[in-house]
Structure 1
Amino acid sequence: MDHVVAHPETLYVGTPAYLIATENPDGSANLAPASSYWALGSMLVLGLEAAGQTAENLLARPDITVNFPSGDLWRSVLKLDGTTGRNPVPADKSRYRFEADKFQAAGLTPEDSEMVSVPRVAECQLQFEARVARATPGLGESYYMVEAEVLRVHADPQILKP
């Protein structure tokens, strides 16, 4: 799938789920499904659980990609359900299993980014390259409210208005 750089008026996507890629300490990519987000201007606000590898990664290395899967990718998203990049698996995630290569586990393809160090998901028609500006612990510290500036938007031309 070819993508073009887009300059949308708004970052409202209209999909309930996204895939977030972050960089693990060893330089490999972590990929996780999430569903809590909103956008204002060029900023995204993401809600992410604190116990996951994703939160640990973005607190240490702020480059991320936020990738929006279309409905036909639902099987790939579900393959990530119950996986974690944390090894050993934390006690509060005991129902999860460790998965080192989540792109492979989901049957998805990493695609190089242009402005951040982590890959995009090639199969997603809409991809945001972003950098975390601030992560605020939520009430009870079980999640983070993550503010990230979108640096570049990649979109399949078929989903763009002329």
Structure 2
Amino acid sequence: MHQLSEPSILYFGTPVVLITTTNPDGTNNLAPISSIFWLGWRAIIGISAFSKTTENIQRTGECVLNLPSVHQAAAVNRLALTTGTFPVPAGKAQKGYTYETDKFGLAQLTAVQSETVNPPRVAECPVQMEAVMESFHGLAEDDEQQRGRLLTIELRIQRVYLDELILMEKNPNRVDPNKWKPLIMSFQQFYGLGEQVHVSKLSTIPEDLYRSPDVERAKKNTKVVKPLSKV
């Protein structure tokens, strides 16, 4: 029997993403989020309007989406309750956040040069996607208390880097779901994926039929990026 409920959050299970962006002084910011979904080579993220990541994406128009596996859970956890914004916003201070400048050092992760954007990729993450901002929109604009506090940002993917350990055999353009073990956030806790529970009819559709025009568009991007910052 179902029961009427009022949970404070509705995080029923989404992948964790480490977003790298460039700070105004040229250093790197690294932040975990778990509000994201993809359609083709577009991603939509949900994020606070007051975060350093938001500020950096709106200013530079670019970022890298790095997807950790279950093996990077400890690194992601080291970034929890930290922010690159100083002073720490009141809402985050109330939750126990502290200001941190060297996010890569704190997380014990490695920054590697990107090809089409300035923010670096995270070497340890099996999936890395260079992206540019296409648009952003306010969320809950109809509510005076929430207006201006939350944003959705549309990102277009320009490069995808996949660890060969998660690829299908002899196919560099297909992820093997039996090998890919994303880190999942569900109601503030970390989880991985279990075994496949049922064959999906959707799997009979060739993946190439979903191929977006953005893939060909991405190949034409030859932006020269700045040398990777040491921080």
TM-score by length of 2: 0.63
The equivalent of 2:137 in structure 1 is: 136
Runs of 4+, deviation exceeding 6 Å: none
Given the alignment of the two structures, is residue 102 of structure 1 paired with residue 103 of structure 2, yes or no?
yes
Letter in 1 for 2:46: G
The equivalent of 1:50 in structure 2 is: 49
Larger radius of gyration: 2
Given the alignment of the two structures, is residue 70 of structure 1 paired with residue 69 of structure 2, yes or no?
yes
**1:149 to partner: Cα distance:** 0.3
Gaps of 5+ in 2: 1-12, 141-145, 172-231
Given the alignment of the two structures, is residue 149 of structure 1 paired with residue 130 of structure 2, yes or no?
no
- Where in structure 2 are the equivalents of 1:113-128 lying within 5 Å? 113-128=114-129
**1:160 to partner: Cα distance:** 1.3
Task: Tell me which moved more, 77-86 or 46-55.
Answer: 46-55
**1:49 to partner: Cα distance:** 1.3
Aligned pairs, number: 149
What is the CA–CA distance in structure 1 between the aligned matches of 2:162 and 2:149, rounded to whole Å? 33
**1:15 to partner: Cα distance:** 6.2
The equivalent of 1:3 in structure 2 is: none
Q: Is the 8 A contact 2:14 2:35 kept in 1?
A: no
What is the CA–CA distance in structure 2 between the aligned matches of 1:151 and 1:93, rounded to whole Å? 32
Where 1:56 maps in the other structure, the secondary structure is: helix
Where 1:158 maps in the other structure, the secondary structure is: helix
**1:105 to partner: Cα distance:** 0.7
Q: Is the 8 A contact 1:51 1:92 kept in 2?
A: no
What is the CA–CA distance in structure 1 between the aligned matches of 2:61 and 2:28, rounded to whole Å? 13
**1:138 to partner: Cα distance:** 1.0
What is the CA–CA distance in structure 2 between the aligned matches of 1:138 and 1:57, rounded to whole Å? 19
Return the structure number with greater relative CO, CA threshold 8 A, min gap 6. 1
What is the CA–CA distance in structure 2 between the aligned matches of 1:37 and 1:79, rounded to whole Å? 21
Where 1:117 maps in the other structure, the secondary structure is: coil
The equivalent of 2:10 in structure 1 is: none
Share of identical aligned residues, percent?
42
